[in-house]
A and B are shown apart, each in its own frame.
Chain A
Amino acid sequence: MEIRKGVPVSAGYAIAPAFVLDSERYRIRKRAIGKSEIEAEIRRFEEAVKVSRQDLLDLKQQWSDRSGNRLSELFDSHIMVFEDKRILDEIKKRIGENHFTPEYAVSRVFRKYVKLFMELSDGYFRQRVSDLHDVERRLLRNLLGKKRETLSRLQEPVIVIARDLTPSQTAQLDRNMVVGFATDAGGVTSHTAIVAKALDIPAVVGLGTITADVSGGDRVVIDGNRGHVVVNPDEETLKKYRVLSRNFQSFEQKLNEEFKNLPAQTPDGAKIKMFANVEFPQEVAIALAHGAEGVGLFRSEFLYRGGKEPTETQHFEAYRQAAEGLGGKPLVIRTFDLGGDKQFMKNPETEPNPILGCRSIRYSFKHLDQFRTQLRGILRASAYGDVRILFPMVSSLEETMTAKMQVDETKELLAREGTPFNEKTPVGVMIEVPSAALTADLIAPHVDFLSVGTNDLVQYTLAVDRVNERVADLYQPAHPAMIRLLKHIVEAGRRAKIPVTVCGEMAGDATFTLFLLGLGVTELSLAPALIPEIKKIVRSVTLAEAREIVEKVGEFGKASEASAYLRQRVLSILPEAF
């Protein structure tokens, strides 16, 4: 048994065998083999080694035919691993003495070497880890043969272990079979964290070397409440977690049943709308089941799965499906947020500073064909529900107007073709860049709503990379600069008489609920599973109290003071909030 500590990013418990994504790509079963099977299993292993070696010899031959000796020599080193008696003997020993299946034995032995390579200080040698992964995958592919299970077609529940989940990996996963995540990299706002929360799957990130510590098939416990990952737990630990898991599920269920059909309304009548952040069309049902009054942020990047540009029909069908699923409730579709930390294309254009580079709406303006295709898809779907358009990363009024012009031109074309769409489709912008926040009063009169993306706004305002662990402690949403910006944005919305939604991490963080309510935010958009809890907080406080809190928060000079005060206030109203 081994306990590792990381950052808890999505609550709940999961107990299941591990699926190590980066190195293996296939699911490995951990099963003890009987004494009588050992000989046959060793033979199966030897056969897979032989086939793997032959594959490489063939590849080498093909390459030397094409490009001469130089390149084909590179295959030699991989071939040599399959001739490396030490490694092969080590694997056979695990099969023979520990009664491991060959797959599990391979995974265990390779994990050991991966770990040794990861500890090397020289970059060239450390990077040989990727060669090891390559060799291991080839061997596993041949061992598993036709029986192999990939992430998209699993037969049993698994916990996914990865460096950090990429958006394209996320898009492939079978959501009924993936019950937990544990990753090496990442903080509270990493992609894995966002996905886990959206799907309501327990997750722990920032574990450092979990991909090297866990072999496929190991039994793993994810404690998404405390940020623990237990590898191969003993019976007692397992029992403890089974009880915790049952209790937690019933607590969440009770909370949801109690609040699902109640409005997020204070006793003195102030209402705040609860929208859901959604990553995939299928999640609309999850959102509704948690009492969402609509989707406040429909991320459209999932359409880029596999790195291919989606067609207009793919856009249209996905949006229509979501709109119809919502049965007339709002569906706010954010146009592509590509570039920056969200690389989808197979060959992304590299930039020295992608976060300040050609991302999001800037990317869309540079790829007008793709942008127009998406806008056509959205507008066509607007005939099937309350569809709204949201532009990400706008930094000025000019960009706002340019984006709106693209919408108007697309509408004109659709009208000329006689294609149905909603002429009055609302258009809004994300306020997530300081320049847009400071000029929210100039932008607001030209749009139908504002949506505050707090994650990026904190990152850009405080100049803190949200995934860099060395500065992660400087990522402080309660920083006075953020408090002032938020006040300014909400005030701009009020003057222009348009709704202001908060859709970042802050919307689902109980610390900020009272503050946002008192500030006059009219809508929150958050991970579906968090809706009941936030609703409960809203229902426990009067608007007058919330306004007083806003007053007080404005007086603090330090983020730590503001955040401590906010937490204390929430706890005094709702002791079980955290």
Chain B
Amino acid sequence: MPPVVERQIEVLNTLGLHFRPATKLVKLAAQFQSDITVSRGERTLSAKSIMEVLLLAAEQGTMITVRADGPDAEEAMEKIASLFARRFEEE
């Protein structure tokens, strides 16, 4: 059984998951084999699709759930959490 990792992450950067941060997130997620999803409320969307990440419409302060499922799930989660924590290097 490959590990499944799940974590609640707050969107810290001012503009939220707008174009550039979303692009960075999708690019990062694409590097991993694991299935990676982002959820907000009822909505669960693929972190590897730019369209879906934008559809999350996560503004600053939103709590989202990131879930990684696959052989490199742990590493993926660390890198993604760190990207959010660094506010996508936007500001």
Contact = CB atoms under 8 A, between A and B. Distances in A.
Chains A and B form a bound pair: yes
Interface of A: 73-74, 76-77, 80-81, 83-87, 113, 116-117, 120-122, 124-125, 128, 131-132
Contacts of A86: 46, 48-49, 51-52
Nearest to A121: B57
Contacts of A132: 51
Contact of B55 (A74, A76, A81, A120): A120
Nearest to A73: B20
Contacts of B59: 122, 124
Interface of B: 15-16, 18-20, 22-23, 26-27, 30, 46, 48-52, 54-55, 57, 59
B23 A125 contact: no
Given A76-B23, A120-B55, A120-B57, A85 B48 contact: yes
Nearest to B20: A73
Contacts of A125: 18, 54-55, 57
Nearest to B18: A124
Contacts of A128: 19, 54
B60 to A, nearest CB: 11
Nearest to B17: A125
Contacts, number: 54
B55 A117 contact: yes
A125 B54 CA distance: 7
Contacts of A124: 15-16, 18, 59
Given A74-B19, A77-B20, A77-B22, A84 B50 contact: yes
B49 A84 contact: yes
A132 B55 CA distance: 12
Given A80-B26, A84-B50, A85-B48, A116 B55 contact: yes
Contacts of B54: 117, 125, 128
Contacts of A117: 54-55
A77 B26 CA distance: 10
B46 to A, nearest CB: 6
Contacts of A76: 20, 23
Contacts of A116: 55
Nearest to B62: A122
Contacts of A131: 19
Given A116-B55, A121-B57, A124-B15, A81 B20 contact: no
Contacts of B51: 81, 84, 86-87, 113, 132
A77 B19 contact: yes
Nearest to A81: B50
Nearest to A74: B19
Given A86-B52, A87-B49, 8 more contacts: A77-B20, A77-B23, A80-B27, A86-B48, A86-B51, A120-B55, A122-B16, A125-B18
B44 to A, nearest CB: 13
